[in-house]
Amino acid sequence: MSWDTVTLDVDDDGVATLTVSRPEKLNSLNVATLEALEEAIAEATGTVRVLVLTGAGDDAFVAGADIDYMKELSTPEAQAYAELGHRVADALETFPAPVIAAINGYCFGGGCELALACDLRVASERAVLGQTEIDLGIVPGWGGTQRLSRLVDDETARRLVFFGERVDAADAYELGLVGKLVAHDELDEHVAGMAAELAEKPRYALSVAKEALNMVHEEPQSAGLEYEKRAWSGLFGTHDQREGMSAFVEDREPQFE
C-alpha cells in the first residue's frame, strides 16, 4: 500500500520506520493522515520486529492535530475525529512489538499523544513537547489525559494540561516524559541502534512482555500477576526459550526466530 502523507519502510532485519510526511504543515494530523497511519500500522502488524515512528523534516515530529480542519467541527464530527485518533494511538500501544518514538522536533497536542502511546521515546535536543490543547479551548482528546500521568507524576501532568506548557527536550527528560535525550544529528543513528538490538531479541517473548507491561495500567495487580505467571510458563517449549537458554549454558550467541 502507498499513502500521500505517510511512508512505511521495512529493512531486512524487520525494523519498520513509519514516517508522518507533511513537513509543510509540521506533520500535523488531518483525517487522511490519521487514516493512513491506521492502515500502515495494520500492515506492519505481525510482520515486523520493531516499529519506529517519526516525522519528516528537521522541524517536527508531529506538531498536533490539524487545527484548520478542526476549527469548524460539530460535536458529532469532533467525536468521529477523536475516535480515529484514539484508534491510531491504541494501535501503537497494543502493537505486538516494541514501538519507538523518534522525536525530532515539535511534538504537541495529538503528536505528543501518539508519542505517549509508544513504548519508548527518544528525543532530539531540539525537540519541544507539550499537551497544548487548552489554549485552543479544548483538552487532549487522543489519550493524553490518561497516558501522561503514567509517565510523570499527577501534579506535573495536571500542570502540563492546565497551562498547556511547552517543555524543551532537557526538561522533558528530567520529567520522565522521554526516556533518552540525544544530539539532534545523532537521533537517527541512536534509534537505529536501539531498533537493531531489539530486532535481535526473541519476537514472541517481546510481544508477551509488552502485553504484560501494558496490563499494569489496565487491570488490578492480581490480574496482571496471574497473566504474568501464564505468560512466563507459556514461553517454555518455544524455540526461542530453548535456544536462549541453551546458548547461555553453551556460552554462545543465541539464534532467535
For position 241, what pLDDT does the model report?
A: 86
Instruction: Give me the chain's average pLDDT, please.
Output: 93
- Burial bucket for residue 137 (CB in 10 Å: 0-12, 13-18, 19+): exposed
- In this prediction, residue 71 has a pLDDT band, given cuts at 50, 70 and 90, of confident
Distance in angstroms (rounded) separating the CA atoms of residues 7 and 1: 9
Which of the residues are catalytic? 113, 133
| 189-237 pLDDT tens trace | 999 999 999 999 999 999 999 999 998 887 777 876 787 777 777 778 8
Closest by CA to 105, choosing from 173, 162, 59, is 59
For position 220, what pLDDT does the model report?
A: 78
- In this prediction, residue 32 has a pLDDT band, given cuts at 50, 70 and 90, of very high
DSSP code for 64: -
| 86-100 pLDDT tens trace | 999 999 999 999 999
Is residue 179 over pLDDT 90?
A: yes
- In this prediction, residue 242 has a pLDDT band, given cuts at 50, 70 and 90, of confident
Considering only 2-6, 116-120, 217-221, which range has the smallest mean pLDDT? 217-221
User: Which residues neighbour 79 within 8 Å (Cβ) at sequence distance 6 or greater?
Assistant: none
Tell me the DSSP string of 211-245. Answer: HHHHHTTTS-HHHHHHHHHHHHHHTTTSHHHHHHH
Are the beta carbons of 45 and 96 closer than 8 angstroms? yes
For position 248, what pLDDT does the model report?
A: 83
| 138-152 pLDDT tens trace | 999 999 999 998 899
Distance in angstroms (rounded) separating the CA atoms of residues 184 and 58: 9
DSSP code for 164: -
Closest by CA to 52, choosing from 174, 183, 199, 207, is 199
What percentage of the chain reaches a pLDDT higher than 70?
Answer: 100
Query: Structural domains in the chain?
Result: 6-199 (3.90.226.10), 203-250 (1.10.12.10)
Are the beta carbons of 54 and 61 closer than 8 angstroms? yes
For position 223, what pLDDT does the model report?
A: 77
Question: Cα torsion at 17, 22, 24, 25 (round to 10°)?
Answer: -120
The H-assigned helical ranges of the chain are: 31-44, 67-70, 75-93, 110-117, 144-151, 154-163, 169-175, 187-199, 203-215, 221-234, 239-250
